[in-house]
Amino acid sequence: MTTALRIPDRLEDFVVKAFGDVGRNWLARLPSLVADASSAWQLHVGAPFEPGGNVGWVAPVRRADGSDAALKVSCPAHRNPWEAKGLQHWAGRGAARLFDSDEASQILLLERCVPGTNGDELDVATGNEIVASLLAELHAVDPPADDEFEPLATLVERFRETMWDWFDRFERPVDRGVVAQADELFTSLTSSSTDAVLLHGDLGPGNAVLSERGWLAIDPHPVLGDRAFDVKQVLSLRDLRDAREQVAFFADRLDLDAGRIAGWTFACCVQAALWGRSVGDALTFRKYLDRTEQLSSQRLV
């Protein structure tokens, strides 16, 4: 490394707000983590991408052979033990390639996407089409063995537990019936699923990036399960005043049941709203609660 390490403001603010002392300690160790990776993999590290992500420090790097790559160092408070394994499984099919990893430190050496434009900069219709195309490509890859990745049911159980914990510990900002409805949806959707594909888990438009190979998915949180779950992320980030049309688009494009898409979106938005409340983020709380109200008002759940 030739310059002092720059930490994007958004990353610093989020990890401290969300993870407290764990986030602060990781930020303090971040320069040495980057330096160790740079030495081990013989990298010349550039300035981090701005504004960057919420839980990971990412920068362009030059490898010893002169090729370009990207270095990603993730905060340990946001555990994602399956990311490297998921990228290995997809092997560049719909996702950025993985070149190397130090899973103990949550450090990845990745394909650099140039020009790196992400889907947040696109209109809703175009962004939805790109996300749908990437999900179709990722889901078409032969599924791994059942014991290779965490099942969606395990992730959902954590969602249910944390959702009720946040509801009980903090001032009650929503009606208990809304949380109970989300809980019932989590349970019924998990028990009735017949899918067993490797899901991206977090494919909103910001995690779709343009590269020389076309649009690629980045930052997966892979789990094994119901394909309809993978649509919840993009919809939860949308204004859903036209929810019926957006749900129908993904259902038709990916050959999925519209009710399952809407159900996963509603339940995950309730959980995300309560997370926002738990960290004192009123804007996040209100945004996700608005999505649940929009889905309910159109009788999609």
pLDDT beyond 70 at 2: no
Statement to judge: residues 70 and 27 lie in one domain: yes
pTM of the predicted model, to two decimals? 0.92
The string of pLDDT tens digits covering residues 96-107 is 999 999 988 999
**Does residue 171 or residue 92 have the better pLDDT?**
92
The string of pLDDT tens digits covering residues 158-216 is 999 999 999 998 877 789 999 999 999 999 999 999 999 999 999 999 999 999 999 99
Statement to judge: residues 130 and 248 lie in one domain: yes
In this prediction, residues 75-90 reach a mean pLDDT of 93
Statement to judge: residues 192 and 227 lie in one domain: yes
HEC-encoded secondary structure of the chain? CCCCCCCCHHHHHHHHHHHCHHHHHHHHHHHHHHHHHHHHHCCEECCCCCCCCCCEEEEEEECCCCCEEEEEEECCCCCCCCHHHHHHHHCCCCECCEEEEECCCCEEEECCCCCCCEHHHCCHHHHHHHHHHHHHHHHHCCCCCCCCCCEHHHHHHHHHHHHHHHHHHCCCCCCHHHHHHHHHHHHHHHHHCCCCEEECCCCCHHHEEEECCEEEECCCCCEEECHHHHHHHHHHCCCCCCHHHHHHHHHHHHCCCHHHHHHHHHHHHHHHHHHHHHCCCHHHHHHHHHHHHHHHHCCCC
Task: Give the catalytic positions in this structure.
Answer: 202
Band of residue 121 on the pLDDT scale cut at 50, 70, 90: confident
- CATH number of domain containing 270: 3.90.1200.10
The string of pLDDT tens digits covering residues 125-161 is 999 999 999 999 999 999 998 889 999 999 999 999 9
- CATH number of domain containing 26: 3.30.200
Mean pLDDT of the chain: 94
Statement to judge: residues 78 and 155 lie in one domain: no
Statement to judge: residues 145 and 72 lie in one domain: no
Band of residue 1 on the pLDDT scale cut at 50, 70, 90: very low
User: Which of 51, 75, 110 is the endpoint of a domain?
Assistant: 110
Range of the domain at 61: 9-110
Statement to judge: residues 175 and 292 lie in one domain: yes
The domain tally of the chain equals 2
Statement to judge: residues 245 and 165 lie in one domain: yes
